[in-house]
Structures are given as structure tokens and as C-alpha cells.
Amino acid sequence: MRKLIFAAAFAATACVIANQHPVAAQVLPTSAGAVSAAVIEDLVAGSRILADQGVLDAFGHVSIRHPSNPNRYLISRWQAPALMTADDVIEYDLDSNPITANGRPSFLERFIHGAVYKARPDVNSVVHSHSPAVIPFGVSQVPLQALFTNAGFLAAGVPVFEIRKYGGMTNLLIHNVEFGKALADTLGDKSVALMRGHGNVVVGASVQVAVYRAVYTEINARMQMQAIGLGGPITFLEKEEGDKIDSVNNDPTNPSGGIMRPWELWKKKVMGK
């Protein structure tokens, strides 16, 4: 009898303890859903275009915000940009945790993308590159400025990110959420931010806009160095001029806008269609 009473008391106590300390079930994140083949094709095209145009080499990456969930983004697995295919796309949350990696390796600096999407709801595509002509402007006292119409977006200003302010002596890589946030804060509401001794980040409302801006940031940098070499004062675009140029280029309903003409040319070259 005593054994039965003890067993019942023990069971009741265990039940109380279990109710006081429930074990939370682990909830794994699920994908935001399938994305149309056309959207993925443009992401792949953007990666290949940037490599073809000399903005990316074996390094760098381009991403898009997930069209069905603004708290997710899509980017290639870890590999050279020119090699990207539709099968390489991985979905991430905005802390850059992989959702659909399935064992595939991730870019170390994917945190750039998640942080920018978190800070900028107007941005739907992000490019990170080591664009060669741009890097000197991030390590010198000469600011990168808009020199011609196709780079009008630069007239709003181009901030320079100094990672030493946030991490002291580092390897300069944006390898965590904290550095990503610091870079996004430096970018602010601008289209481009330079990364001292490293590269740059370029953003846009679409992958077409971001790729266009990344290409013409590199071209503008080369032109600016040529203009400096000529000597004498340089007449740069004013912000008002840049804003008016950008409003035309970014209008998808305007057939004379400057974004889609080069995009169609570049895409045909790298995709064959």
C-alpha cells in the first residue's frame, strides 16, 4: 500500500515539475516559398553580367529580396559569380541564417545583404564587389563623385565605411551581423558606399537597377581618375541633376529609361537570350 501511495505521489510531483518547466519544441524555419523561374533567371543574369563587365571577378556577389517575403533574401551559394546557375540559389533570413542551404556553403560576407535589407525597405537588390577602379577612392582623400549622366545616382554622395571604428584591426571582412549593421548605417539612404581597402556595396530597387549602378560606379571611377589626370578643376554633377537623371532611369514605365537598354544587351550576352 505504501509503495502505491509513494508511486502516486512521485508521479504527481513529476507532473507538476513538467508543467512548471515545459520543454519547448524546436521550430525550424521554413522557406518563404517558390520563386518564379524568370526572377531567378534575372538574379543569375545579374551575377554573370557583373563578372562579364569586370565589376566582379572570382569574388563578390549579388542578391535579391524574396518577392513573397521581405524578411528573406536570395543569393548564390559560395562560388565565383560567373559560374552561378539557378540551382545555386539559397534563401536566407535577414540575420543571414541559411534556410535552404541543404549543405551547400555560404558566402562569408552574406551579412552585408541581410543588414541592408533590414535597414532599407526600399532596396530589393544588393551588390557587393571589389570593383578595381573604385577602391582607390576609399583609401584616399579624393571623394568619388558623379561625373556623367549614367552615374547620376552618385551625385547624392558616396560615404566611406571604416571598419576600424567598429572592430579595430580586423581582416576587413563583414563576417557578422554587427559589422553588417555598421555598414548599412554608413550607407544610410545612399545608393553606394565604399569600404576602405576592400570594395563597395551598391543597392537598387531591382536587380536591374543595382547591376546598372554597380557597372557605372566602376566606369565613373575610371573616368574621374582620367579627368583628374588632365589637371584643373572638374565640373561634377549637382545633386539636383543626379536626382532628375535617376528618376528617369528608375522609372520602369518609361520606355526611354536608361536601365533596361543596357540590361537587355548585357543579359543577352551572358545568357544567350
Q: Which amino acid is at 67?
A: P
Which of the residues 109, 178, 238, 264 is marked catalytic?
A: 109
The alpha-helical segments, DSSP class H, found in the chain are 2-20, 37-52, 111-119, 135-139, 164-167, 177-187, 207-230, 239-249, 260-271
d(CA 105, CA 262): 32
238 is catalytic: no
d(CA 88, CA 46): 14
d(CA 134, CA 225): 10
Reduced DSSP (H G I as helix, E B as strand, rest coil) percent helix, strand, coil of the chain, to 5: 45, 10, 40
Cell of 252: 520602369
Whole-number Cα distances in Å, 149 to 29, 226, 237, 269: 44, 16, 8, 24
Element counts in the chain: helices (H) and strands (E): 9, 7
Query: Which residue is associated with the grid cell 526572377?
Result: 39
Cell of 75: 543569393
Residues taking part in catalysis: 109
